[in-house]
Structure 1
Amino acid sequence: MKKFEEKTIRSEKIFDGKIVQLQVDEVQLPNGKTSQREIVKHPGAVAVIAITKENKIVFVEQYRKPLERSLIEIPAGKLEPGENPMIAAIRELEEETGYSTNSLSFVTSFYSSPGFADELLHIYITNDIEKIENPRAADEDEFVELVELTLDEAKQYVEEEKIHDAKTAYAVLYLHALERR
């Protein structure tokens, strides 16, 4: 038995959307009592820390409806079923920024919100990017604007909450740590 394991008694799918599925599980708690868990199932996602030859970090500005505001974020997107995360990262970089790379390095993977979702986010880094003439088209319902910032500017954006999502804040912290080595 796993420490603090909650055994599923019953699971009911509530919603099956284009990106996420929502289910409600009835679980038996370690103390024998029961409770309900609302769980978002997500296919996983990728994100890229991309650095230009001028040592600027590539971001995109995008409106986020759940927040009713725009954020500055590192390029990212969801995995397609069975898709290799590194291939997805290259695809997302190209679609969102018009840059491509042949050289990605894996940084880390983490769960974005494990209290209610199973999304696993894979982060890669590259400092070998090239603007391409005919990049892949962005998703038809996605509107983004390219933003390139120095690390100091990115840190300021974190303080100003223009950068305010976990993956991008992680990227800035990661680059800050690399700079200090």
Structure 2
Amino acid sequence: MNNRFEEKTVASEVLFEGKVISLRVEEVELPDGKFAKRELVGHPGAVAIIAITDDNKLILVEQYRKALNRSIIEIPAGKIEPGEDNEVTALRELEEETGYGAHQFNYLQSFATSPGFANEIIHIFVAKGLYKIEKPAQGDEDEFINIIECTIEEAEQMVLDESIYDAKTAFAILYAKKLIDN
């Protein structure tokens, strides 16, 4: 990777440390020698799961997102806890949000969500051979979720009608279509 446009940090100030994110302002030296300020959000990273049933349906979750002031439909996902392995997080989130486990569980890809101001990376996993867990682990007490099972065509329509409104889920549906069609 070429770093010819690298911005060197000359000063950094933490403005906020929260449960999920941190906010800092950095003064950087630009490649041309000038200086600029960058407002940056720190995030521990997250996982997301493309859960595909034996009859090639997707398991999605609907939940209210306060930042958007609306409910949206998403693939199961969650924040990585400190020291937790990405795959362990993904299996935990699949169980907590959907009540499913998976006989086949594979890492697919990682990507940056908002690289202009945040360092959050989402790690995508594919879950197949799904089975219902008799007594699944409970999710977050402040999380209210509706589980949706749909075809890939229905999920594509949800992207078009903006029921699916987040990038990770739209990204995942592109991959799911390829996985289901093969």
The interval holding the TM-score normalised by the smaller chain is over 0.9
- Give the match for residue 136 of structure 1: 137
> Map of 1:8-19 to 2, 5 A cutoff?
8-19=9-20
Alpha-carbon distance in 1 for matches of 2:59, 2:70: 20
Cα displacement (A) at 1:2? 2.3
Residue aligning to 1:163: 164
Pair 1:85-2:86 in alignment: yes
- 1:172 aligned to 2:173? yes
TM-score normalised according to structure 1 size: 0.96
Alignment of 1:117-156 (within 5 A): 117-156=118-157
2:145 & 2:180 partners in 1: Cα distance? 28
1:134-156 Cα deviation digits (max 9, x unpaired)? 00001011111101110000000
- SS of aligned partner of 2:39: strand
Q: How far is the alpha carbon of 1:66 from its aligned partner? A: 0.7
Q: CA RMSD in A?
A: 1.2
Percent identical across equivalent pairs?
55
Q: CA deviation at 1:102?
A: 3.7
Task: Report how far residue 176 of structure 1 moved.
Answer: 2.1
Alignment partner, residue 73 of structure 2? 72
Structure 2 counterparts to residues 75-114 of structure 1, below 5 A: 75-114=76-115
Q: Is 1:36 matched up with 2:37?
A: yes
- Length, aligned pairs only: 181
- Runs (4+) of structure 1 exceeding 3 A deviation are 178-181
Deviation at 1:53, TM superposition (A): 2.0
Measured in 2, the distance between the counterparts of 1:67 and 1:78 equals 18
Structure 1 gap segments, 5+ residues each: none
Shift of 1:52: 1.3
Which residue of structure 1 aligns with residue 53 of structure 2? 52
